[in-house]
Structure 1
Amino acid sequence: MSVVDSVLTRIPQTYHDVAIRYRELLKFGAVGAITFFIDTAIFYALKWTVLVPKPVTAKVFAVLVATIVSYILNREWAFRTRGGRERHHEASLYFLVSGIAVGLYAAPLWISRYVLHLQTPYTGRLVQEIADFTSGQIIGLLLGMAFRWWAFRRWVFPDDARQQRGDSRTVRTERTPAG
């Protein structure tokens, strides 16, 4: 029995059907939670040490590391029943979509720091840290994750090869762990 199946057996029946229906989204969210902690830890480790004057660079580096971990987890767990592309093609699309998402993750922090000037000496240190967290870790994360969810399902991990060609009339059955 997989970890997901053991968790699903413990969910009350009223939520069980919803969890089954949105299983893929819940897995994507779990991957997002894991990579959020990776991103946050790396961002603040760099921002408070070697990249003090360059918080946007720290954010971009943190997102890149989290993206690599995210690809592995999404490919092998969240979207394992989807695909149909060769691995190198899929990985190229994944990192292209994620590269666009890096811009969405970093844009609110850039706006906060360099357009709104929510940084020292224009504001206090506490305001700067709250603005950095809100813009970089909340707003940027939400923008990037919404875009990635849509783009991954549309282009990177489509339902099957026919959907890649634009034929959405096909219904795909879920693969078993062995197949």
Structure 2
Amino acid sequence: MTVVDTVLARIPAPLRGILLKHRELLKFAVVGATTFVIDNGIWYLLKLTILEDKPVTAKIIAVIIATIVSYVLNREWSFRTRGGRERTHEAALFFLFSGIAVGLYSAPVYVSRYWLHLEVPEVSRLVQEVADFTAGSIIGTLLAMFFRYWAFKRWVFPDELGNPRPHRFHDDPADEELGHP
């Protein structure tokens, strides 16, 4: 029994149906949560050490690393039944839209630090860190997440190509239950 089977078996049937119906969005959210941890871990590691005076640069580096992980996880799990594009074309589109998302991630930190001046010495270190977290990890993440989900479904992994990739991993029982290959 897979982890997915175990989790689904414990969820009441009406809710299970809703989760199965929106499984792609849920998988995207799990990938997002994973990359959120990666992004913030790297961001704080960099901005509290070698890039202390360059929080926007630290955020961009962290987001780029998290984006590479996101591509692999989204391609092989979240959107594995979609697509059909040539891999290089798909990757180019993924990274193009993710590049736009880097701006969406970073813009709130830029506004917080350089327009609102929420940085030391104008404010305390605690206020600076709370403002950075709110701007970069909450507002920036939400803006980029909604944009990326929309762009990925629309252009990177579209259904209308009609050429889903063959499965290389264990088939998801949720796909079979909904009549997907």
Give the TM-score, by structure 1 length. Answer: 0.89
1:84: how far off?
A: 1.1
Structure 1 stretches of 4+ with a deviation exceeding 2 A read 1-6
Q: Secondary structure at the match of 1:82?
A: coil
Between the aligned residues of both structures, percent identity stands at 64
Q: Give, in whole Å, the separation in 1 of the partners of 2:99 and 2:138.
A: 18
Higher relative contact order (CA 8 A, sep 6+): 2
Number of the residue aligned with 2:98: 98
Written as runs of structure 1 = structure 2, the 5 A alignment for 1:64-103 is 64-103=64-103
CA distance in 2, matches of 1:3, 1:23: 14
Does 2:177 match 1:174? no
Mapping for residues 30-179 of structure 1, pairs under 5 Å: 30-161=30-161, 174-175=180-181
Distance 1:143 1:16 in 2: 28
Give the C-alpha shift of residue 161 in structure 1.
Answer: 1.2
Whether the 8 Å contact between 1:84 and 1:160 is mirrored in structure 2 is no
Q: Secondary structure at the match of 1:160?
A: helix
Deviation at 1:9, TM superposition (A): 1.9
- 1:140 is aligned with what amino acid? G
Paired position in structure 2 for 1:21? 21
Distance 1:174 1:159 in 2: 12
> Partner of 1:5 in structure 2?
5
Q: Report the AA paired with residue 77 of structure 1.
A: W
CA distance in structure 2 between the aligned counterparts of 1:25 and 1:45, rounded to whole angstroms:
30
**Matches of 2:84 and 2:49, distance apart in 1:** 43
Counterparts of 2:13 and 2:161 in 1: how far apart (Å)? 34
- Equivalent position amino acid for 2:13 in 1: Q
Cα-to-partner distance string for 1:127-151 (whole Å, 9 max, x where unaligned): 0000000000000000000000000
Tell me the matched-pair count. Answer: 166
Instruction: Give the CA deviation at 1:162.
Output: 6.0
RMSD: 1.3
CA shift for structure 1 position 7 = 1.8
- Alpha-carbon distance in structure 2 between the residues aligned to 1:112 and 1:162: 44
- Looking at structure 2, the residues matched to 124 and 39 of structure 1 have their Cα atoms a distance apart, in angstroms, of 24
